[in-house]
């Protein structure tokens, strides 16, 4: 393994690329004029998974070798001292993340298909190689679901939904969040289905904003010239069932994740806790969400998944959707938190329907 610097370089910040949940990602310039990207933990912002996830991200990038390494930026420095961690990587110049490209609407279906075919090859054939689990995915999902629920239940506006026996969501009779999670645990084989099938190295945070393409379409093949960024999930998962990457990818490809993050979602019921009656609707007619309705960003990627791993186990799929929504409910506030908790409740119910 190549040696890399074990401290941050002397550099000036050129731009903040992203204020993440726990980290900041910046474009920096070194004294010799070269550019790099630095991602570092923020001392003021700590969360349940902050350092764990960043450490695993460094471990992940350090461990890459062979053909797959060529699809990620090159790791140039990494440090972890005194409760602060960070790393520097090569800057992919003149690129744009595919989330921004998708939102701009400046891509047609055939280009989106080419992109998905290339992504399918990189993720399912190169990234997904056999891995030894740190912890069974089922154990992580169970622990996280109930941990998040315990944390959120202390909030007055959220506890009625979590603790309810029966609720109505969009006119459908469902169980409250905790009861749905308990039913999942009680159903034989349900949680353990996450450990069936191969345990692979995942991307972990596989969605369009963590993939770069050249900023300009120079030739027919440009949708295939992708770079992957930002591996490892918010809660530190980087290995497990291959479906983990599919569920994450599709949550954004459908426009839902963007709608949730930008408040383009209608949520009702938290103001009337005694009624146990909720509404959850994505505002898919909003101009920012429309590009995801007009272009199918997911079909070809899913087809590649099915070719490699066989049909999608729908119950396990919904369980992972619920898990992701709960993790993100803990990381967010206000309307977004309520929307994510409601989304988790719908998904966990669907898993045991």
Ligand X SMILES: Nc1ncnc2c1ncn2[C@@H]1O[C@H](COP(=O)(O)OP(=O)(O)O)[C@@H](O)[C@H]1O
Which residues would be at the binding site for ligand X (CB under 6 A)? 17-18, 20, 23, 25, 37, 39, 73, 89, 91-92, 95, 97, 209-210, 212, 229-230
Residue 25 CB, nearest distance to Mg ion (Å)?
Answer: 8
**Quick one: CA dihedral 12, 16, 17, 21, positive or negative?**
positive
Q: What is the CA radius of gyration of the chain?
A: 20
| Partner whose binding site includes residue 95, from Mg ion, ligand X, none (CB under 5 to 8 Å by kind) | ligand X
Which residue's CB is nearer to Mg ion, number 228 or number 316?
A: 228
Which residue's CB is nearer to Mg ion, number 231 or number 322?
A: 231
Which residue's CB is nearer to Mg ion, number 21 or number 146?
A: 21
Residue 5 CB, nearest distance to Mg ion (Å)?
Answer: 23
Q: Tokens for 109?
A: 């279906």
In sequence order, the 6+-apart residues with CB closer than 8 A to the CB of 222 are 111, 213, 214, 216
The residue number whose beta carbon is nearest to ligand X equals 20
According to the binding rule CB under 5 A, does residue 210 interact with Mg ion?
Answer: yes
Residue 312 CB, nearest distance to ligand X (Å)?
Answer: 26
Helix (H) or strand (E) holding 95: strand 95-97
CB 204 within 8 A of CB 188: no
Of the residues 26, 57, 230, 321, which one makes contact with Mg ion according to CB under 5 A: 230
Which residue's CB is nearer to ligand X, number 26 or number 169?
A: 26
According to the binding rule CB under 5 A, does residue 23 interact with Mg ion?
Answer: no
Selection from 238, 277, 245, 267 nearest residue 332 by Cα: 267
Residue 228 CB, nearest distance to Mg ion (Å)?
Answer: 10
**β partners of residue 214:** 95
Residue with tokens 């003021």: 44
Which residue's CB is nearer to Mg ion, number 20 or number 255?
A: 20
Q: Tokens for 61?
A: 């990038």
CB 122 within 8 A of CB 71: yes
DSSP-derived secondary structure letter, 215: S
* Residues making contact with Mg ion (CB under 5 A): 210, 230
């Amino acid at each position: 393994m190549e040696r890399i610097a074990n401290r941050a370089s002397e550099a000036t910040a050129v731009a903040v690329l992203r204020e993440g949940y726990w980290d900041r990602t910046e474009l920096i310039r070194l004294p010799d004029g070269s550019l790099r990207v630095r991602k570092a933990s923020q001392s003021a912002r700590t969360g349940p998974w902050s350092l764990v996830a960043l450490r695993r991200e460094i471990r992940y990038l350090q461990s890459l070798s062979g053909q797959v390494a060529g699809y990620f930026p090159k790791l140039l420095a990494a440090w972890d001292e005194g409760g602060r961690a960070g790393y520097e990587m090569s800057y992919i110049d003149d690129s744009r993340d595919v989330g921004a490209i998708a939102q701009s609407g400046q891509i047609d279906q055939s280009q989106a298909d080419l992109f998905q075919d290339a992504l399918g090859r990189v993720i399912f054939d190169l990234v997904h190689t056999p891995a030894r689990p740190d912890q069974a995915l089922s154990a992580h999902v169970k622990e996280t679901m109930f941990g998040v629920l315990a944390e959120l239940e202390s909030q007055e506006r959220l506890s009625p939904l979590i603790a309810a026996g029966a609720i109505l969501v969009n006119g459908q009779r469902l169980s409250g969040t905790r009861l749905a999670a308990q039913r999942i645990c009680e159903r034989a084989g349900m949680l353990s289905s996450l450990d069936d099938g191969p345990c692979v190295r995942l991307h972990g945070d596989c969605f369009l904003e963590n993939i770069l393409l050249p900023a300009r379409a120079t030739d027919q093949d440009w949708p295939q010239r992708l770079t992957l960024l930002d591996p490892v999930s918010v809660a530190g998962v980087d290995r497990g069932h291959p479906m983990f990457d599919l569920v994450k990818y599709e949550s954004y490809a459908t426009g839902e994740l963007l709608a949730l993050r930008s408040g383009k979602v209608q949520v009702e019921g938290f103001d009337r806790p005694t009624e146990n009656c909720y509404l959850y609707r994505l505002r898919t007619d909003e101009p920012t969400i429309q590009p995801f309705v007009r272009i199918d960003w997911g079909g070809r990627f899913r087809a590649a998944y099915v070719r490699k791993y066989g049909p999608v186990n729908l119950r396990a799929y919904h369980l992972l959707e619920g898990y992701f929504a709960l993790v993100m409910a803990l990381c967010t506030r206000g309307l977004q938190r309520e929307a994510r908790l409601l989304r988790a409740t719908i998904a966990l119910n669907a898993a045991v329907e």
